[in-house]
Amino acid sequence: MSVTQSDLDKAEAITRELWAAKSLDLYMCDGTVRADQFGLLGDIRKLLMGFNANARSDWRNAVIEALEECEEYFDNRADAEYFTDDPSPVPNEEMRLLTVVLDALKKARAR
């Protein structure tokens, strides 16, 4: 199962709600109530925070890997041309996109 950004956003929202909770009451199928389950609340918080961290790391690694492939592709095709009426080189589309990919990689690796 792959984790989407939507899944991460939902898990983060649930974690925020649980973090703000003061207690947790469980309403059991047999009709009984287990009130103030502080230990369970803490365990759920830890589990969700771990899920968020791991899923975000996996997602970030996948993005970095895709950007690295783009970098290799565009790097092999990047070029600039000199035109007689312009003293500076004019980059081709691949060179322009390589710059965008390199900027995105720098940001992704910094986090």
34-73: per-residue pLDDT in tens?
Answer: 777 666 667 776 776 777 777 778 878 888 899 999 999 9
- Confirm if 74 and 97 have CB atoms less than 8 A apart: yes
Q: Cα 100 to the chain's mean position, in Å?
A: 18
Q: How far is CA 12 from CA 3, 34, 42, in A?
A: 13, 26, 15
Q: What is the pLDDT of residue 37?
A: 67
12-23: per-residue pLDDT in tens?
Answer: 777 777 777 777
Angle of the 38-75 helix axis to the 5-20 helix axis, nearest 10 = 150
Q: What is the pLDDT of residue 102?
A: 92
- In the chain, domain spans: 5-110
Question: pTM for this one?
Answer: 0.55
Residue, of 84 and 31, whose pLDDT is higher = 31
